[in-house]
Amino acid sequence: MLLHDELQCLLLDHYHLQLTLRFRMAKKVLILYAHQSSGSFNAAAKDAAVEVLTAQGCTVEVSDLYAMKFKATATAEDITGEVKNAEHFSYAEESKLAWEEGKLSADITEEQRKLSEADLIIFQFPMYWFTVPAIMKGWFDRVLTKGFAYSDEKRYSLGIFKEKKAMLSFTTGSHESMFSANGINGDMNVTLWPLQNGVLHYCGFQVLAPQIFWAPARVPADTRSAMLESWRTRLQGLLGEEPLSFTPLDCFDREKGFQLKSEVHEKQATKEFGLTVGTHLGKPLPPNNQMKAGV
């Protein structure tokens, strides 16, 4: 009888553990997808993410920007009704006021809803001119409005979305060697800094290391298959990954124009590398600072 009761307790504990694990994994994921073709490698990478994350119990929502015909230009048309100052129109200030008053256009508020509900956001795109396609840049400009996504007080490590994770997943047109410190395109870590620090981290996101598919159009089919398989493997543990490292906002002196505090600067004086790609202190850039967590 005792053994039976103990077995029942063990089974009950196991059941509760499974429920707890499933609850922890039951995250909401938003995929911002920007490619014109359903037969593209980017589409395959997006589909793999939907499949693997859904299988883990996640709720996955996709914003297919081209299929949605998402408007890329940030204009006064994004505000319903009259604007405050039509003569000297400021998109940042007018969109902030419109967000506060519930007067943003429906396509913007719908994307803001998706973003508010998501625990993880994946940006899936082909790299155009060393950055995101115009339609995705338009999503940044229009959806990440002042007040909703950031404010003077809430940005970087104190940002509004500090409880959320975000990452870039993209294809390149050039091989990896061309994006090296010695390559003609320059160090990919430098290329990624404006997007990962200036957009994602600025809004407070915990930024996961990027998933880069190097020149899939220039490699054999079996290599592309291996790329997707590697992505699938990573997706299995994606929600538990550690984010990239950025210098906290409190390391900077607001009274001195947000310059690095003297005590932090002094502490770094004997270090071989700078703090980050952007805050490098005139030193060599820290290796893979924008590519891998913990380095």
SS (H, E, C) the chain: CHHHHHHHHHHHHHHHHHHHHHHHHCCEEEEEECCCCCCCHHHHHHHHHHHHHHHCCCEEEEEECCCCCCCCCCCHHHECCCCCCCCCCCHHHHHHHHHHHCCECHHHHHHHHHHHHCCEEEEEEECECCECCHHHHHHHHHHCCECCCECCCCCHHHCCCCCCEEEEEEECCCCHHHHCCCCCCCCHHHHHHHHHHHHHHHHCCEECCCEEECCHHHCCHHHHHHHHHHHHHHHHCHHHCCCCCCCCHHHEEHHHCCEECHHHHHHHCCCCCCCCCCCCCCCCCCCCCCCCCCC
Instruction: Judge whether residue 238 has pLDDT over 60.
Output: yes
- In the numeric block, which tokens belong to residue 242? 């550690």
Instruction: Judge whether residue 35 has pLDDT over 60.
Output: yes
Average pLDDT over residues 218-245: 96
Average pLDDT over residues 163-192: 97
Average pLDDT over residues 266-284: 92
Average pLDDT over residues 119-140: 98
Residue 178 · residue 218 · CB < 8 Å: no
Instruction: Judge whether residue 142 has pLDDT over 50.
Output: yes
Per-residue model confidence (pLDDT) at position 293: 83
pLDDT band at 28 (very low <50, low <70, confident <90, very high): very high
Give tens-digit pLDDT for 203-229. Answer: 999 999 999 999 999 999 999 999 999
Instruction: Judge whether residue 19 has pLDDT over 50.
Output: no
Per-residue model confidence (pLDDT) at position 99: 97
Average pLDDT over residues 122-135: 98
Ordered domains of the chain (ranges, CATH) = 22-244 (3.40.50.360), 245-295 (no CATH)
Instruction: Judge whether residue 1 has pLDDT over 80.
Output: no
Give the pTM.
0.89
CB atoms within 10 A of CB 287: 12
